[in-house]
Amino acid sequence: MFTCAFYCIILLDELKFSLAVVQLRVSKIKADNLGRAQKLVKEAAGQGAKVVVLPECFNSPYGTGFFAEYAEKIPGESTRVLSEAARDCGVYLVGGSIPEKDGEKLYNTCSVFGPDGKLLVKHRKIHLFDIDVPGKIRFQESETLSPGNRLSMFETPFCKVGVGICYDIRFAELAHIYAKKGCQLLVYPGAFNMTTGPAHWELLQRGRAVDNQVYVATASPARDESASYVAWGHSSVVNPWGEVIVKAGPEESVVYADIDLQYLADVRQQIPITTQRRNDLYSVNSVQEG
């Protein structure tokens, strides 16, 4: 009897956990960015967060002109700080992204560390943002970055998590495959701008969440009007019903949400799209092995 009650409590406990999103203010001084990231991860863990997410390009200003200068190998200075922070605080740390240098190539890379400080997965942004609207705007990530070629998921005692970076969120197939492979939480460090932010940032998160009946968390750098690239901010967490359950403003802050896997199961039972798909008529599949 006692054993059962004890077991049930553990089980209930693991169906719910606190997630923190750190909307970091990113300056041109790398050491300063790393120091504040470390401090805010600690603050989040102190508030009970088990999973903490940092923004895209958290150690460097965002922009093709900065990537080479701020790029590091992995492991390197920035990921060592992340590994230590994860271990010291006992959290799963989704390390936003940093410009990664590997040989002659640069990637936009998210490293995820477990509570023992070990690297769990490294997601290199798979969809690079290249636009060229003649007479208007030209921004080509691929002039400096190479794309990643792998999907990235990791396990926690609570649930499986899928990782994407910024523009990756626009590709519904990726989110769908993560959900199909058992992810109940998708995390996207990202930096939308002052045009795409108000237009699509929340819409895309709600879309990915409601399509797949998963939690979706995004982490943006805080808005800095004086930066060459002005990020929208508004890091958020959306639940499997498509509701925004927490949303930061534009400034530096840490926001928290409860990820409730029983609630996720309830939503899937109420609207059974996961079991009523017509796999005989259509399907979305990963062509990656494993």
Stretches 169-177, 191-199, 200-208, 238-246: which one binds ligand NAG (CB under 6 A)?
191-199
CA distance 5 to 97: 42
> Which member of 30, 101, 122, 125 is catalytic?
125
Q: Which amino acid is at 24?
A: L
Answer yes or no: are the C-beta atoms of 153 and 163 closer than 8 Å.
yes
Q: Which C-beta is closer to ligand NAG: that of 131 or that of 271?
A: 131
Task: Check residue 274 for interaction with ligand NAG (CB under 6 A).
Answer: no
| Position among 4, 5, 11, 137 found at the interface with ligand NAG (CB under 6 A) | 137
Cis amide linkage into residue 75, ω under 30° from 0: yes
CA distance 8 to 3: 9
Residue bearing tokens 């199961």: 265
In the complex, minimum distance from the CB of residue 197 to ligand NAG, in angstroms, rounded to a whole number: 8
Task: Check residue 195 for interaction with ligand NAG (CB under 6 A).
Answer: yes
In the complex, minimum distance from the CB of residue 194 to ligand NAG, in angstroms, rounded to a whole number: 4
Catalytic (active site) residue 84: no
Residue 228, Cβ neighbours under 10 Å: how many? 11
In the complex, minimum distance from the CB of residue 163 to ligand NAG, in angstroms, rounded to a whole number: 23
| Position among 38, 193, 253, 286 found at the interface with ligand NAG (CB under 6 A) | 193
Q: Which C-beta is closer to ligand NAG: that of 195 or that of 283?
A: 195
CA distance 217 to 82: 19
User: By CB under 6 A, how many residues form the interface with ligand NAG?
Assistant: 6
Stretches 40-48, 190-198, 203-211, 255-263: which one binds ligand NAG (CB under 6 A)?
190-198
Residue 250, Cβ neighbours under 10 Å: how many? 18
Based on DSSP, count helices (H) and strands (E) in the chain, helices before strands: 8, 15
Nearest to 204 by CA among 188, 193, 220: 188
In this structure, the dihedral spanned by the alpha carbons of residues 164, 169, 173 and 176, taken in order and rounded to 10 degrees, is 70
Task: Check residue 64 for interaction with ligand NAG (CB under 6 A).
Answer: no
Task: Check residue 228 for interaction with ligand NAG (CB under 6 A).
Answer: no
In the complex, minimum distance from the CB of residue 133 to ligand NAG, in angstroms, rounded to a whole number: 7
Binding site for ligand NAG (CB under 6 A): 131, 137, 193-196
